[in-house]
Amino acid sequence: MSPTYRIVSKIHSVLVNPRTLEPRRGVFIILYYGIGAFATFIVVAMILLGLEAYGLRFARDFLYARLGEPVLKALESLLF
């Protein structure tokens, strides 16, 4: 057996109930809230960056105060 097969089978046994072959409930919860939180973060960040693009400086000041310049530059390159 290859190492890749062992890794995939261990991940499968953790994520899928072996008796019913259905995904475990925790998988759905993590995906649901994880994807929702990431999407919310992207939307809020785009709104704040859009406000800054139209000359409303409080959005950039808010982002600099909360996140700092390196994180803001990385976020701008990710979104645009």
Token readout for 48 is 């704040």
Compute the average pLDDT of residues 8-16.
87
How far is residue 36's CA from residue 65's CA, in Å, rounded to a whole number? 25
pLDDT computed for residue 60 by the predictor: 67
Compute the average pLDDT of residues 29-39.
90
8-state DSSP, 37: H
Residue 6, domain member (yes or no): no
52 near 60, Cβ under 8 Å? yes
Q: Could you tell me which residue, 65 or 37, shows the higher pLDDT?
A: 37
User: Does the pTM of the predicted model rise above 0.85?
Assistant: no
pLDDT computed for residue 63 by the predictor: 67
66 CB neighbour count, 10 Å cutoff: 10
The number of distinct structural domains making up the chain is 1
Residue 3, domain member (yes or no): no
Residue the block writes with tokens 């994880």? 34
Q: How confident is the model at residue 5 (pLDDT cuts 50, 70, 90)?
A: very high
Structural domain span for residue 55: 24-79
